[in-house]
Structure 1
Amino acid sequence: MIDRIHQDHKNIMLLLNALSDKVEFLKEDKKIDYQIVKSIMSYLKNYSDKYHHPMENLIYAHYLKYRVVPDEVANRLSQDHQELKTITKELDEMLGMILLDAIISKELFIEKLEQFVVKQKQHLTYEEEEIFPAIKSSLSPDDWLNLNQQWKHNEYVEPLFGDKISNEFKALADSLKLVKR
């Protein structure tokens, strides 16, 4: 499970770097493909909220059940996930408006997109450098067996970075130069 989360983080970082490139293009008054940005947001919104964060939350809840940690540490991960869900939804809605030709300030969009990328990267860094090392060092093989059993019914097919790319993400995969079909 933890290996899957680490791989997800690498994949998410690839998408965040692509969004950072879009921010720079916009700052340089270059055109971007907003549909690709929308696809990235769709992936992050759907995949992260439905599968990635619930897996992290399951592991973290198990960890907290048997370990004593300060309240601010105990609450931060779920608060971060909720905040990320909110800002993802807001940015996704703004993109939807742009794609419907609504007039949205380019500066406002750049600001929101940049804030989104920074917040996401901070969150991934926090998990990779603080949360998961603590979890890995304290959970036993039995803990992992228990967690795998609990998660088993939530298995899913990775729609972008998996063995087969879903139709929804083919254009995004092409833009990222992912070779799997």
Structure 2
Amino acid sequence: MMLSKIHKDHVNMSKLLKLLKEKIQLLEQDQQIDYRLVKVIITYLKNYSDKYHHPLEDMIYDYYLKYRVVPDTVANRLSQEHQLIKEATIELDELLEMILLDAVVPKEQCIDRLKHFVNLQSAHMNYEEKEILPQIEASLSKDDWRKLKEQWQDDGHSDPLFGEKISEQYKELANRIKQNS
């Protein structure tokens, strides 16, 4: 159940990265984009990933490393990538805030930050989906998953964009995602 939640999150995040790629292409073609929508995407990714997605992955991965794998230099890659993504998200969020406040920001700088963010997120999710999650799934027992479920402090949150009830701040984005599907 926990891995299926992570897989589902990755599918949903991929939809958002697809929208960002479309915005990058428009910028590269000297077309206008809706920076507010881009900001909403980044806000969602920042809030949801930091509060729910990455903590769940980190808990499972830490358990896996502690009980199933001999730690080595590769062992910390996932948490290091989560930190890099967090930093890239904050930088992009601040840049978008400046743009929305009518600061003059070179278009190339915006394109570069967006590309960096999308590439970092995509590579990270691919690494998790192809390398880490299959290893974890193959090595953890039902008892391990029971222990992890007991350890996970799920506060009953609902995904504000992809959950049953869409938050007001994400309704426009949810409509755009439906149009793109």
What TM-score, normalized by structure 2, do the two folds share? 0.95
Amino acid at match of 1:139: L
Equivalent residue for 1:3? 4
> Match for residue 126 of structure 1?
127
Does the Cα contact within 8 Å between 2:161 and 2:167 map onto a contact in 1? yes
1:24-173 correspondence runs (5 A): 24-173=25-174
Amino acid at match of 2:58: N
Long gaps (5+) in structure 1: none
Q: Work out the number of aligned pairs and report it.
A: 178
Further displaced range: 61-70 or 78-87? 61-70
Q: TM-score, normalised by structure 1?
A: 0.95
SS of the counterpart of 1:51? helix
Q: CA RMSD in A?
A: 1.1
CA–CA distance in structure 2, aligned partners of residues 165 and 126 of structure 1: 29
Q: Deviations over 1:103-130 (max 9, x none)?
A: 0000110011011101100000000000
1:49, 1:92 → 2: CA distance?
14
Q: Gaps spanning 5+ residues in structure 2: where?
A: none
Return the offset for 1:68: 2.4
